[in-house]
Amino acid sequence: MIPLEHSLRQLFHEVVSECYDSRLGLRDAEISSYVADLLTEFCHAENIYRIRDAAGNPVREVGEMLLASDPVHGTASSFGEERERRKHIGDYTLFFAGMYPESTHRWGGSLQRDSFFEMVQAGKESYYVVSQFDLFEYAQEAPFFARLSGSFEACIYGLNMVRGELDRRRAISPPRPFSAGPATQIM
Protein backbone atom coordinates (compact mmCIF):
# COMPACT_ATOMS: atom_id res chain seq x y z
CA MET A 1 0.00 0.00 0.00
CA ILE A 2 1.24 3.44 -0.90
CA PRO A 3 1.38 5.65 2.24
CA LEU A 4 -1.28 8.31 2.73
CA GLU A 5 1.28 11.13 2.71
CA HIS A 6 2.99 9.96 -0.51
CA SER A 7 3.13 12.66 -3.21
CA LEU A 8 1.55 10.35 -5.81
CA ARG A 9 -1.54 9.81 -3.65
CA GLN A 10 -1.70 13.56 -2.99
CA LEU A 11 -1.45 14.28 -6.72
CA PHE A 12 -4.30 11.89 -7.54
CA HIS A 13 -6.50 13.36 -4.80
CA GLU A 14 -5.84 16.88 -6.08
CA VAL A 15 -6.52 16.07 -9.74
CA VAL A 16 -9.57 13.85 -9.13
CA SER A 17 -11.11 16.41 -6.80
CA GLU A 18 -10.50 19.20 -9.32
CA CYS A 19 -11.97 17.21 -12.22
CA TYR A 20 -14.91 15.67 -10.35
CA ASP A 21 -15.93 18.65 -8.22
CA SER A 22 -15.08 21.68 -10.34
CA ARG A 23 -15.34 20.48 -13.92
CA LEU A 24 -17.86 17.63 -13.74
CA GLY A 25 -19.99 18.94 -10.89
CA LEU A 26 -19.93 15.58 -9.09
CA ARG A 27 -19.52 16.99 -5.61
CA ASP A 28 -19.20 13.81 -3.58
CA ALA A 29 -16.00 13.89 -1.54
CA GLU A 30 -16.31 10.19 -0.68
CA ILE A 31 -16.48 9.17 -4.35
CA SER A 32 -13.62 11.51 -5.29
CA SER A 33 -11.46 10.13 -2.50
CA TYR A 34 -12.30 6.53 -3.41
CA VAL A 35 -11.40 7.08 -7.06
CA ALA A 36 -8.14 8.86 -6.17
CA ASP A 37 -7.19 5.98 -3.84
CA LEU A 38 -8.09 3.50 -6.58
CA LEU A 39 -5.73 5.23 -9.01
CA THR A 40 -3.00 5.17 -6.40
CA GLU A 41 -3.40 1.50 -5.57
CA PHE A 42 -3.63 0.51 -9.25
CA CYS A 43 -0.11 1.88 -9.76
CA HIS A 44 0.90 -1.65 -8.72
CA ALA A 45 -0.05 -4.22 -11.39
CA GLU A 46 -0.75 -6.92 -8.80
CA ASN A 47 -3.61 -4.76 -7.51
CA ILE A 48 -5.12 -4.42 -10.98
CA TYR A 49 -5.03 -8.18 -11.57
CA ARG A 50 -6.04 -9.29 -8.08
CA ILE A 51 -8.46 -12.04 -9.21
CA ARG A 52 -6.64 -15.29 -9.99
CA ASP A 53 -7.70 -18.47 -11.77
CA ALA A 54 -7.37 -21.97 -10.31
CA ALA A 55 -3.74 -22.15 -11.49
CA GLY A 56 -2.91 -18.83 -9.79
CA ASN A 57 -2.68 -16.82 -13.02
CA PRO A 58 -4.18 -13.32 -13.13
CA VAL A 59 -7.61 -13.10 -14.74
CA ARG A 60 -7.62 -10.23 -17.24
CA GLU A 61 -11.01 -10.65 -18.92
CA VAL A 62 -14.08 -9.16 -17.24
CA GLY A 63 -16.29 -12.04 -18.40
CA GLU A 64 -13.99 -14.51 -16.65
CA MET A 65 -13.98 -12.32 -13.54
CA LEU A 66 -17.78 -12.33 -13.50
CA LEU A 67 -17.81 -16.13 -13.71
CA ALA A 68 -15.23 -16.37 -10.95
CA SER A 69 -17.34 -14.12 -8.69
CA ASP A 70 -20.31 -16.51 -8.66
CA PRO A 71 -20.36 -18.51 -5.39
CA VAL A 72 -22.80 -21.07 -6.81
CA HIS A 73 -21.50 -21.73 -10.34
CA GLY A 74 -18.09 -20.04 -10.19
CA THR A 75 -15.02 -20.27 -8.02
CA ALA A 76 -15.92 -17.80 -5.25
CA SER A 77 -15.88 -19.82 -2.05
CA SER A 78 -18.41 -17.64 -0.20
CA PHE A 79 -20.77 -14.72 -0.58
CA GLY A 80 -18.13 -12.56 1.11
CA GLU A 81 -15.67 -13.53 -1.61
CA GLU A 82 -18.34 -12.76 -4.21
CA ARG A 83 -18.64 -9.26 -2.74
CA GLU A 84 -14.87 -8.73 -2.84
CA ARG A 85 -14.63 -9.94 -6.43
CA ARG A 86 -17.59 -7.81 -7.52
CA LYS A 87 -16.00 -4.78 -5.86
CA HIS A 88 -12.81 -5.49 -7.77
CA ILE A 89 -14.73 -5.88 -11.05
CA GLY A 90 -16.31 -2.47 -10.43
CA ASP A 91 -12.89 -0.97 -9.70
CA TYR A 92 -11.25 -2.66 -12.69
CA THR A 93 -13.91 -1.60 -15.18
CA LEU A 94 -14.08 1.94 -13.80
CA PHE A 95 -10.31 2.27 -14.12
CA PHE A 96 -10.03 0.91 -17.66
CA ALA A 97 -13.20 2.51 -19.04
CA GLY A 98 -12.18 5.90 -17.61
CA MET A 99 -8.40 5.94 -18.01
CA TYR A 100 -7.91 3.63 -21.00
CA PRO A 101 -11.19 3.35 -22.93
CA GLU A 102 -9.24 2.37 -26.04
CA SER A 103 -8.26 -0.88 -24.30
CA THR A 104 -11.85 -2.06 -23.80
CA HIS A 105 -12.07 -3.53 -27.31
CA ARG A 106 -10.28 -6.61 -25.98
CA TRP A 107 -13.07 -7.47 -23.55
CA GLY A 108 -15.56 -8.98 -25.97
CA GLY A 109 -18.38 -8.19 -28.30
CA SER A 110 -18.18 -7.70 -32.04
CA LEU A 111 -17.57 -3.94 -32.03
CA GLN A 112 -15.44 -1.77 -29.77
CA ARG A 113 -18.49 0.29 -28.83
CA ASP A 114 -20.32 -2.89 -27.74
CA SER A 115 -17.31 -3.96 -25.68
CA PHE A 116 -17.17 -0.60 -23.95
CA PHE A 117 -20.90 -0.69 -23.22
CA GLU A 118 -20.66 -4.25 -21.87
CA MET A 119 -17.72 -3.31 -19.67
CA VAL A 120 -19.59 -0.30 -18.26
CA GLN A 121 -22.65 -2.45 -17.58
CA ALA A 122 -20.54 -5.09 -15.81
CA GLY A 123 -18.88 -2.48 -13.60
CA LYS A 124 -22.07 -0.65 -12.74
CA GLU A 125 -23.84 -3.93 -11.98
CA SER A 126 -20.92 -5.13 -9.86
CA TYR A 127 -21.02 -2.04 -7.66
CA TYR A 128 -24.79 -2.49 -7.38
CA VAL A 129 -24.28 -6.10 -6.23
CA VAL A 130 -21.79 -4.87 -3.62
CA SER A 131 -24.38 -2.34 -2.42
CA GLN A 132 -26.84 -5.18 -1.81
CA PHE A 133 -24.54 -6.60 0.87
CA ASP A 134 -26.12 -4.26 3.39
CA LEU A 135 -26.05 -6.25 6.62
CA PHE A 136 -23.62 -6.59 9.49
CA GLU A 137 -20.08 -5.36 8.69
CA TYR A 138 -21.14 -4.13 5.22
CA ALA A 139 -24.13 -2.02 6.32
CA GLN A 140 -22.26 1.29 6.43
CA GLU A 141 -20.52 0.82 3.06
CA ALA A 142 -23.61 -0.31 1.14
CA PRO A 143 -25.09 3.18 0.46
CA PHE A 144 -21.72 4.38 -0.85
CA PHE A 145 -21.55 1.57 -3.42
CA ALA A 146 -25.15 2.30 -4.44
CA ARG A 147 -24.10 5.93 -5.11
CA LEU A 148 -21.01 4.73 -6.97
CA SER A 149 -23.14 2.44 -9.13
CA GLY A 150 -25.59 5.27 -9.83
CA SER A 151 -22.75 7.64 -10.76
CA PHE A 152 -20.71 5.08 -12.68
CA GLU A 153 -20.90 6.75 -16.09
CA ALA A 154 -20.12 10.17 -14.59
CA CYS A 155 -17.13 8.66 -12.78
CA ILE A 156 -15.86 7.23 -16.07
CA TYR A 157 -16.20 10.62 -17.73
CA GLY A 158 -14.44 12.23 -14.77
CA LEU A 159 -11.56 9.75 -15.03
CA ASN A 160 -11.21 10.59 -18.69
CA MET A 161 -10.84 14.25 -17.64
CA VAL A 162 -8.27 13.14 -15.02
CA ARG A 163 -6.27 11.40 -17.74
CA GLY A 164 -6.37 14.56 -19.87
CA GLU A 165 -5.26 16.72 -16.94
CA LEU A 166 -2.39 14.36 -16.10
CA ASP A 167 -1.33 14.38 -19.76
CA ARG A 168 -1.52 18.18 -19.81
CA ARG A 169 0.60 18.48 -16.67
CA ARG A 170 3.16 16.06 -18.03
CA ALA A 171 3.37 18.05 -21.29
CA ILE A 172 4.07 21.36 -19.54
CA SER A 173 6.45 19.99 -16.89
CA PRO A 174 10.13 19.78 -17.76
CA PRO A 175 11.45 16.22 -17.57
CA ARG A 176 13.26 15.39 -14.35
CA PRO A 177 16.53 13.50 -14.36
CA PHE A 178 16.17 9.95 -13.11
CA SER A 179 17.54 9.27 -9.65
CA ALA A 180 17.74 5.82 -8.13
CA GLY A 181 17.75 7.26 -4.62
CA PRO A 182 15.09 6.77 -1.94
CA ALA A 183 13.07 9.77 -3.18
CA THR A 184 12.04 7.85 -6.30
CA GLN A 185 10.86 4.77 -4.46
CA ILE A 186 7.16 4.45 -3.75
CA MET A 187 7.54 2.51 -0.55
Residue 123's pLDDT band, with cuts at 50, 70 and 90, is very high
Chain CA centroid to CA 133, Å = 19
Contact 112, 96 (CB under 8 A): no
Q: How far apart are CA 2 and CA 111, in angstroms?
A: 37
pTM of the model: 0.87
Q: Is residue 102 predicted with pLDDT exceeding 80?
A: yes
> Which residues does residue 58 pair with via DSSP β-bridges, in sequence order?
52
Helix (H, G, I), strand (E, B) or coil at 58: strand
Say what the pLDDT of residue 24 is: 96
Identify the three-state secondary structure at position 146.
Answer: helix
**Distance (Å, rounded) from C-alpha 35 to C-alpha 147?**
13
Give the DSSP H/E element, type plus range, for residue 178.
Answer: none
Name the band, by pLDDT with cuts 50, 70 and 90, for residue 114: low
pLDDT, tens only, 130-161: 999 999 999 999 999 999 999 999 999 999 99
**Max Cα distance, the chain (Å):** 54
